[in-house]
């Protein structure tokens, strides 16, 4: 939502739990540091309707049995993730995506391409002499969700209208923060990021603040 990413993995002495919906399967992760990682697949791995959970077995053993079976990960593990009817199509597409990722060099290859895409987009923002502004400190900028503002809301509205007309869609920022947000998940090709940066440069030239 806010275009922020942790680049350093925390080391703590308590159970570590994370929602990595926008981040996992975009770079290698030291899974041994985590007790539980949850993530919806709709960002980087497939269609909505499926979630992946990576959980330490000792965490399952410590979980309460005072909740319904449907909410217990231990039940899902015992039933091979088929306690309920599985979303077959979503799982099928997930398998296709994982094979595609492997052909692209695995997580290392995916990470390199993600960094190239993000670098290009942030360069367009930072090189605009303040016309576009990313409010996130560079050291913590997300590689998947790039947020930026224009000089005023009127220009932002015009930018979004013209972008949509140019088939650059869904660039409106999250409703809680406003502005603009470009989601450049794994499936987004570099060519699309190039088109976006060219549009941004053209819009800036035609609409001075």
Q: Are 56 and 109 in contact (CB under 8 A)?
A: no
pLDDT of res. 61: 83
Domain positions in the chain are 17-103, 106-206
- In degrees, to the nearest 5, what angle opens at C-alpha 143 toward C-alphas 127 and 117? 60
CATH class of 106-206: alpha beta
Cβ partners under 8 Å of residue 49, min gap 6: 42, 87, 90
Q: Are 111 and 44 in contact (CB under 8 A)?
A: no
Q: Which residues on adjacent β-strands are paired with residue 141? A: 4
Considering the entire predicted model, what is its pTM? Answer: 0.91
Give, for all 209 residues of the chain, the pLDDT tens digit. 899 998 899 889 999 999 999 998 999 999 999 999 999 999 999 999 999 999 998 888 888 888 888 888 999 999 998 998 999 999 999 999 999 999 999 999 999 999 999 999 999 999 999 999 999 999 999 999 999 999 999 999 999 999 999 999 999 999 888 999 999 999 999 999 999 999 999 999 999 98
> How many Å separate Cα 175 from the centre of its chain?
17
pLDDT of res. 70: 83
Q: Which of 53, 60, 14 is nearest to 33 (CA)?
A: 14
């Amino acid at each position: 939502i806010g275009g922020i990413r942790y680049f350093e993995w925390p080391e703590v002495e308590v159970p570590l739990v994370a929602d990595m919906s926008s981040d996992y399967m975009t770079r290698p992760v030291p899974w041994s540091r985590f007790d539980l990682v949850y993530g919806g697949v709709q960002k980087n791995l497939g269609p909505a309707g499926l979630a992946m959970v990576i959980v330490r077995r000792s965490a399952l053993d410590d979980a309460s049995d005072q909740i319904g079976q449907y909410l217990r990960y231990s039940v899902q593990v015992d039933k091979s993730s088929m306690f309920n009817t599985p979303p077959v199509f979503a799982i099928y597409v997930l398998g296709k995506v994982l094979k595609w990722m492997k052909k692209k060099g695995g997580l290392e290859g995916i990470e390199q391409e993600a960094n190239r895409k993000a670098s290009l987009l942030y360069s367009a923002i930072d090189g605009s002499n303040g016309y576009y502004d990313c409010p996130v400190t560079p050291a913590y900028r997300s590689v998947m969700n790039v947020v930026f503002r224009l000089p005023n809301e009127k220009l932002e509205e015009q930018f979004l209208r013209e972008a949509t007309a140019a088939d650059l869609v869904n660039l409106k920022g999250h409703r809680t923060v406003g502005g603009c947000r470009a989601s450049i998940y794994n499936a987004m090709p570099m060519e699309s990021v190039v088109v976006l940066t060219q549009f941004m440069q053209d819009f800036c030239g035609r609409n001075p603040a």
